[in-house]
Structures are given as C-alpha cells and as structure tokens.
Amino acid sequence: MVSDGQFVATSRNEELGGRDAYWFLIRDFHPLVKTCDDGVEIPLLNANDPLIPPVETHHCLGHIGEVPCFTAELPIDFNPPEDMEFINLRPLHAHVGEMLWSIAGRAVQIVDWARTNRYCGRCGVENTFSLMDRSLRCPDCNLAHYPRLSPAVIVLVQRGNEVLLGRSNRFPNAFYSVLAGFVEPGESLEQTVSREIFEETGIRVKDITYFGSQPWPFPNSLMIGFTATFAGGEIALHDDEILDAGWFTVDTLPNIPGSISIARKLIDWWIVGQRGSAD
Ligand SMILES: [Zn+2]
C-alpha cells in the first residue's frame, strides 16, 4: 500500500464524518487485513462500508497525510469477507512496514484498553469516553482510566570488545539477546537497569546511557533502550528467567533477534562500533 506522508498521532478522538479512512479493525488482538497479490494490506474503507462498527466504538488514532486512521473492535464471532483475513501482529510487520505496523500495535492496545475498562474499577459504574484526552471517565466518582503501559528497560552491556547476551526462557527460537526487565514502582529507569542486570546475571554496570525507545505491543509495553559498561562481577544466573548468559565478541555472536525489535537495533549499533574500532 502506498501512503503519502508520515503518521501523525492524536490522543483526542474525532468523528469519522463522511471520510474514507484506514481501518484497523481488531478481533481479539488480531487486525483485519485485505489480501492482495503480494501479501496483505490495511483496508482503506469508505465511510459507508458495512464493515465499520457502530460509531460509539470508534477511536481515531491519527492521520497519514489527509487520511484518518481509525480503530474499533469487531465481535469475536465476526467472520471476515472473502478477500480479508485476521492476522497476527508479528507477521504483519513484514507485509506493511514499520509505520503501519506500529499503528496496528497501537490499535490493538487501544481496543484492548476500551474492552477491559468498561466499568469503573473503584465504584463499578459504566465509564464514558473523555472528549479531552484518551481516557475513560467514571461519571460517578470521576476516576480516569488511561491505557495501561508497562515500561521496561532493555540494556546492552559492553566489556572491552565483548557484549553481554542472555537466552531467555521466553525466546522460542533459542536466540541470545540483550537483557530486559520491567520497571518497578518507585524506580528510576537507571535504577531498573542496575537492578535487572544484577538480578539476572550478577553483573554490576556503570555509564548507563539512553539509547532510544520502542513501543512493544506484546502486550502494552514500552521498551526503553540503554547502553552500559561492565563495572564488576562474574556471571551468575539467579533465576529461571535467563537460561544462559555470556560475553560475546563480533566473531563469536550466537543467534540474535530479528530486525523488528530494539534489541536488534542495540546489537547492530554495537557491531558497527566494533567494526569501526577494529579499523
Ligand atoms: Zn467510579
């Protein structure tokens, strides 16, 4: 699919009106896509298209050029028309590219948030959508329910020309990656970095430096990337989360994650630095 311009996100809902829009229609965490000759694409639908659910379920996500992007939930028993199908979020990346994939990840999370926050968690009254921001408000006690995000740090630790990688029990294909962990309430991100690396591997780190971030919809995460330098310790695995960990050079790298993730961007950044310093 060809789209002019970049995606500009919005946190305020707006009405579809009579506009054509990209529709990220979600059934149980899976976007509905149109099948085409070379794969699948996000459907661009006319405002009168019968696929579009009732207006009270619409969420505007933003715009690509002049074209709005909307999401809504489809019922669990919805059967797609012949030229459409539901797709898992991960394989969608290869079909639609980074921008549309990240909008789809956003859509899945917004729909999940709306579905799981219909009633106030404090007093049980049915929430209503705020017109001011992306929140559900209790009309009785005024409690605001925002989409839930779970921030996690992801850290590349260097020691000389080596990098610290671990194999997690969550990685199905037994690849090695930089280490990651969720932020605890009351922690700064730097404190999370120090704690996680020490808890998982027994290694102390210093020079903790921000690298970049990535929304990660599996589910509701925000990955915040850092680099750090070895400051002491021997590798000692403390829990079942990391099955194996070690120091690797560019020449001894094991299987590493695919290009979809910030983990791979961190490792690629490190490889480029190693090649540069070897010249
Ligand atoms: Zn309430």
The rounded Å distance from CA 123 to ligand 1 centre is: 4
What pLDDT sits at residue 239?
73
DSSP states of the chain: ----S-EEE-SS----TT--EEEEEEETTEEEEEEETTEEE--EE-TT-TTSPPGGG-EEEEEETTEEEEEEEPPTT----TTEEE--HHHHHHHHHHHHHHHHHHHHHHHHHHHHTSB-TTT-PBPEE-SSSS-EE-TTT--EEPPP-EEEEEEEEEETTEEEEEEETT-TT---B-EEEEPPTT--HHHHHHHHHHHHHS-EEEEEEEEEEEEETTTTEEEEEEEEEEEE------SSSEEEEEEE-GGG------TTSHHHHHHHHHHHHHHHHH-
Radius of gyration of the chain (CA): 22
The rounded Å distance from CA 29 to ligand 1 centre is: 27
The rounded Å distance from CA 57 to ligand 1 centre is: 21
Query: Which of 138, 171, 198 lies closest to 263 in space, CA to CA?
Result: 171
The rounded Å distance from CA 144 to ligand 1 centre is: 9
Each of the 279 residues of the chain gets a pLDDT tens digit; together they read 444 689 999 988 889 999 999 999 999 999 999 999 889 999 999 999 999 999 989 999 999 999 999 999 999 999 999 999 999 999 999 999 999 999 999 999 999 999 999 999 999 999 999 888 899 999 999 999 999 899 999 999 999 999 999 998 877 667 999 999 999 999 999 999 999 999 999 999 999 999 999 999 888 899 999 999 999 999 999 778 888 999 999 999 999 988 889 999 999 999 999 988 765
Considering the entire predicted model, what is its pTM? 0.83
Decide the pairing of beta strands 221-232 and 136-137.
unpaired
Beta bridge mates, 22: 44, 69
The rounded Å distance from CA 119 to ligand 1 centre is: 8
What pLDDT sits at residue 172?
61
The rounded Å distance from CA 129 to ligand 1 centre is: 13
The rounded Å distance from CA 130 to ligand 1 centre is: 14
The rounded Å distance from CA 133 to ligand 1 centre is: 18
The rounded Å distance from CA 128 to ligand 1 centre is: 11
Tokens describing residue 143 = 């409690």
Q: Which residues contact 48 (CB under 8 A, 6 or more apart)?
A: none
The rounded Å distance from CA 52 to ligand 1 centre is: 30
Query: Which of 182, 166, 260, 174 lies closest to 221 in space, CA to CA?
Result: 182
Report the C-alpha gap between 145 and 148 in whole angstroms: 8
Report the C-alpha gap between 198 and 192 in whole angstroms: 10
The rounded Å distance from CA 139 to ligand 1 centre is: 7
